[in-house]
Homo-oligomer: A and B are copies of this chain.
Amino acid sequence: MQHAKPLPTYLAQRFHGWKATSYAENAAWYRRLSSEGQHPRAMVISCCDSRVHVTSIFGADTGEFFIHRNIANLVPPYLPDGQQHGTSAAVEYAVTALKVAHVIVMGHSGCGGVKGCLDMCSGNAPHLEEKSSFVGRWMDILRPGYERVKDQEEDRRAALLEREAVVVSLENLMTFPFVRSAVEAGDMSLHGLWHEIGGGALECYDPRTGGFVAV
């Protein structure tokens, strides 16, 4: 692999700063994490978006959350077809190997993936409809959510579809046999969140109303 480059200097400098401070002060904890392996209590599925730091929001220490991040925090339906499904692999590992107690799906405001889905489904982004568009095909997962928001006022649709990305993922999670059995046995619980970046708000999906309420 001849194309790789050295780490940019500013990142190398920051690493050395971390090593001399945070690492040094917590070396005992890092060593134990290394020797004992991880025992995270929850899996979090959130977006790749650079503005979403779930560990900050929840004051999580190293070792606390098993975190999968993809475009628009989506979980596809269960499809054991022998193909590569990275999200399904992460869910399978968290539930069957790590036996996490919670799976938390967290959406967020201003999601670029959700915006693309909205544009695509309303006919305004033909490039996303092409077979070769990885983003477009990935956002197909959210089409059932689009059907539920397409008749809403136009300026509310994006925020509603961001919440649907959470609901659709929760629904799809329940199509995985090992998720369903763990949930039904009471060994694991699912949680849906939506985070508003600018105002720092957090809403939680309420299964009784089907809506989201402030935490």
Per the bound structure, the CA–CA distance linking A37 and B205 in Å amounts to: 25
CB atoms of A64 and B50 under 8 A apart? yes
CB atoms of B58 and A14 under 8 A apart? yes
Per the bound structure, the CA–CA distance linking A19 and B17 in Å amounts to: 8
CB atoms of A197 and B30 under 8 A apart? yes
CB atoms of B67 and A48 under 8 A apart? yes
CB atoms of A1 and B35 under 8 A apart? no
CB atoms of B87 and A86 under 8 A apart? yes
Within 8 A of B (CB), among A165-194: 167, 170-171, 174, 182-183, 186-193
Per the bound structure, the CA–CA distance linking A67 and B34 in Å amounts to: 23
Residues of B close to A193: CB separation below 8 A: 7
Query: A1-B174, A10-B60, A15-B57 known; A51 and B33 CB under 8 Å?
Result: yes
Question: Smallest Cβ distance from A59 to chain B, in angstroms?
Answer: 4
Residues of B close to A124: CB separation below 8 A: none
Q: Which of A41, A49, A53, A138 has the most CB of B within 10 A?
A: A41
Quickly give the copy total for this chain: 4
CB atoms of B17 and A14 under 8 A apart? yes
Query: A183-B3, A200-B27 known; A92 and B61 CB under 8 Å?
Result: no
CB atoms of B34 and A109 under 8 A apart? yes
The number of residues on chain A lying at the interface, defined by a beta carbon within 8 Å of a beta carbon of chain B, is 126
CB atoms of A30 and B69 under 8 A apart? no
CB atoms of A70 and B56 under 8 A apart? no
CB atoms of A59 and B23 under 8 A apart? no
Q: Which of A50, A174, A186 has the most CB of B within 10 A?
A: A50
A25 within 8 A of B: yes
Per the bound structure, the CA–CA distance linking A83 and B40 in Å amounts to: 31
CB atoms of A198 and B33 under 8 A apart? yes
Within 8 A of B (CB), among A1-59: 1-41, 43, 48-51, 53, 55-59
A74 within 8 A of B: yes
A68 within 8 A of B: yes
Query: A134-B92, A198-B33 known; A24 and B14 CB under 8 Å?
Result: no
